[in-house]
Structure 1
Amino acid sequence: MPHRIPAIGRRTLAAAALALAAAPAAAAGDPLPAWRDGAAKRGILDFVARTTRRGAPGYLPPAERIAVFDNDGTLWVEQPLYTQFAFALDRLRDLAGQDPGLAAREPFKAALAGDLAAVLAGGEKGLAEIVAVTHAGMSQEAFAGIVTRWLGTARHPRFDRPYTRLIYQPMLEVMRLLRRAGFEVWIVTGGGQEFVRAFSAATYDVPIRQVVGSVGKTEFRLLPEGRSELFRLPAIVAVDDGPGKPVGIGHAIGRRPALAFGNSDGDIEMLQYTTTGPGRRLGLILHHDDAVREYAYDRGSHVGRLDRGLALAPDAGWTVVSMQRDWRRIFPPG
């Protein structure tokens, strides 16, 4: 990981400025103080009011109040590469120290050399091989422990903060608002289900049973000493991305969501499944267009590509949220 550069003074000043900027809104009872007033914010507030006000045309009974959120790029930073892949690379380095033969084989050789462009150019196959090697060969409990320890020490290469502090404050506020209004808040991610479950409750207040993600193959093992475990195997059972997201929602939730929030073309089908249902629905896309406070990327990015989603949004009625214009601040202070 990169050498950490102390930035206590800068962080303190930034946190104080953010707190002062948010104070008027918070004092007025604004449930979304990290959002600037605009069409996106008003649309979210209006949706919640109309779907929870008994007797309103768009009223939803509590059982139908389901909200789904993508994770990477929607709830936390996904640049310069997905957090789970950063974890996989660090773990690959550890494994290569135990098995030098890994470093001689592709795509591991390119990954260990830091040639991420070559790894990403290899598409899903190369990424799947790296994930299979670094995420298997252990119990689910052992894997969760490895992820938790890594998240406790790893730092983002640009922001020099733990990844779990690079979550989006405006999204935390939306999820909190929805919970208070009686919505079930689910994470529906293309990332590994068990990877996200390792931190979802502490980071987002989303219980592990409300995380739907890509699923690796496991098998039940009864151990000699009378214990048992689910053992992780080097294979993927289901990829929860693109058209796989509505399928995962159907399997895990069993209801069509009323609200969906994503940020990339991998979320299109989830948004379509949500907003083509009967009654009042809301689909939102977060557009990363703030290179100063975070990152600016869309059509040309290998990570979090957003191309078709931007083209489809106007006709589909999806709200495109501008990180630059709609958010007062990006991350929680501190």
Structure 2
Amino acid sequence: MKRRSFLAGTIASLSLPALTSSARAQGDALPSWNDGPARQSILDFVTRTTTIGGRDWIPVPERIATFDNDGTLWTEQPMYFQVMFAMDRVRALAGRNPQWRTQEPFKSVLANDRDALAALGEKGLLEIVAATHTGLTTEEFRQIVLDWLATARHPRFKRPYTDLVFQPMLELLALLRANQFKTYIVSGGGIEFMRPWTERVYGIPPEQVVGSSGVTRYELRANDRPVLLKEPKVLFIDDGPGKPEGINQYIGRRPVFAFGNSDGDQQMLEWTAAGAGARFMGLVHHTDAVREYAYDRQSAVGRLDKAWNEAVRRKWTVVDMKNDWKVIYPFELK
């Protein structure tokens, strides 16, 4: 009964107009969050900024909320999911490329040698992405992503990757939208990888996804059919200082609310904090090795070190996953 009640409330919240008082921010909001400073800081911010006549009221057009994706809205261990996708693409294409069995970085992928692959660093990853993400039309790539998500399973949880979204963050997205915030993804992940599924999973449409991107080229094919071809050239890396640059270029407004989980999100949070008026900056700290993963300063994936120091210094909200979240994933509610 509790689950049905929560779902009904969430669905209703997506279509109801925002109230002009704290009623919409309080009540049954964020049911998967434990009571504590993190939850209360979110509720207080939403109440203060949406109460007409209040000192911190924010006009609706300025209610921009940006979220990192990997590690903030879904799990990112043991490896970024787009990297897992690219590695599966290498395996799928290996028959057409026999030279990969002796050529790095493909050799390490086919041998499932993650240590060797990690040693190849960003250069190796870019080679894999260039080989597996390009030479396709945007429509072809979109369908490949959707097919992979429908069949691939996480190595630990044995579930589809889109099952591994964070239930508390889904509730937060719904709460913000119910209060007329516009929610965006601003991620280092590939924009063409995320856009096919973010609306279905998060309620965030493709035009509100900002991510790393490659060059596309217009081509007119037979029967006057136009396509966009993905080329092996990097257009924009949406990580670190690239995040505020991407926000400026693609959104055109400084966020008033921003959430991340790693050092790659620090500049986005700093950019948000630098604006006038009320601001919210949050970090997800992965502290639950039993239900998810525990990692921070020394992690090769999603390192939280300098941004954590900055959060402590500036008194940003740091969410302790183990202590602040009652559940991690939506399937725990079933």
TM superposition score normalised by structure 1: 0.91
Residue 256 (structure 2) aligned to one of 247, 255, 258: 258
Q: Which amino acid aligns with 1:309?
A: A
Instruction: Give the secondary structure class of the aligned counterpart of 1:182.
Output: coil
1:290 & 1:161 partners in 2: Cα distance? Answer: 19
How far the C-alpha of 1:314 sits from its partner, in A, is 1.6
How far the C-alpha of 1:121 sits from its partner, in A, is 2.5
Structure 2 unpaired stretches of 5+: 11-25
Residue 305 (structure 1) aligned to one of 303, 306, 309: 303
Which residue number corresponds to residue 50 of structure 2?
Answer: 52
Which residue number corresponds to residue 276 of structure 2?
Answer: 278
Which residue number corresponds to residue 63 of structure 2?
Answer: 65
1:33 & 1:173 partners in 2: Cα distance? Answer: 8
Which residue number corresponds to residue 322 of structure 2?
Answer: 324
Residue 34 (structure 1) aligned to one of 32, 35, 40: 32
How far the C-alpha of 1:135 sits from its partner, in A, is 0.3
Which residue number corresponds to residue 244 of structure 1?
Answer: 242
Which residue number corresponds to residue 109 of structure 2?
Answer: 111
1:217 & 1:278 partners in 2: Cα distance? Answer: 35
Residue 170 (structure 1) aligned to one of 168, 171, 177: 168
> Which stretch has the larger CA shift, 121-130 or 244-253?
121-130
2:161 & 2:175 partners in 1: Cα distance? Answer: 23
1:48 & 1:122 partners in 2: Cα distance? Answer: 44
Residue 233 (structure 1) aligned to one of 228, 231, 234: 231
1:264 & 1:76 partners in 2: Cα distance? Answer: 13
For residues 195-237 of structure 1, the C-alpha deviation after alignment (integer angstroms, 9 at most, x for no partner) is 0001101110100000000001110001122100110011211
1:323 & 1:227 partners in 2: Cα distance? Answer: 49
2:121 & 2:251 partners in 1: Cα distance? Answer: 30
2:296 & 2:312 partners in 1: Cα distance? Answer: 16
1:146 & 1:228 partners in 2: Cα distance? Answer: 19
**How many residues of Structure 1 are paired with residues of Structure 2 in the alignment?**
316
How far the C-alpha of 1:100 sits from its partner, in A, is 0.8
2:279 & 2:138 partners in 1: Cα distance? Answer: 36
2:32 & 2:301 partners in 1: Cα distance? Answer: 25
Q: Which amino acid aligns with 1:152?
A: A
Which residue number corresponds to residue 93 of structure 2?
Answer: 95
How far the C-alpha of 1:277 sits from its partner, in A, is 1.0
1:194 & 1:93 partners in 2: Cα distance? Answer: 20
Instruction: Give the secondary structure class of the aligned counterpart of 2:216.
Output: strand
Residue 190 (structure 1) aligned to one of 180, 188, 191: 188
2:219 & 2:118 partners in 1: Cα distance? Answer: 35
Instruction: Give the secondary structure class of the aligned counterpart of 1:137.
Output: coil
Q: Which amino acid aligns with 1:186?
A: Y
Which residue number corresponds to residue 294 of structure 1?
Answer: 292
Identity among equivalent pairs (%): 54
How far the C-alpha of 1:126 sits from its partner, in A, is 1.1
1:122 & 1:249 partners in 2: Cα distance? Answer: 30
For residues 43-101 of structure 1, the C-alpha deviation after alignment (integer angstroms, 9 at most, x for no partner) is 00000011111111111100100000000000001000011011000000011121111
Structure 1 unpaired stretches of 5+: 1-15
How far the C-alpha of 1:19 sits from its partner, in A, is 4.7
Which residue number corresponds to residue 121 of structure 1?
Answer: 119
Instruction: Give the secondary structure class of the aligned counterpart of 1:225.
Output: helix
TM superposition score normalised by structure 2: 0.91
1:107 & 1:99 partners in 2: Cα distance? Answer: 13
Instruction: Give the secondary structure class of the aligned counterpart of 1:257.
Output: coil
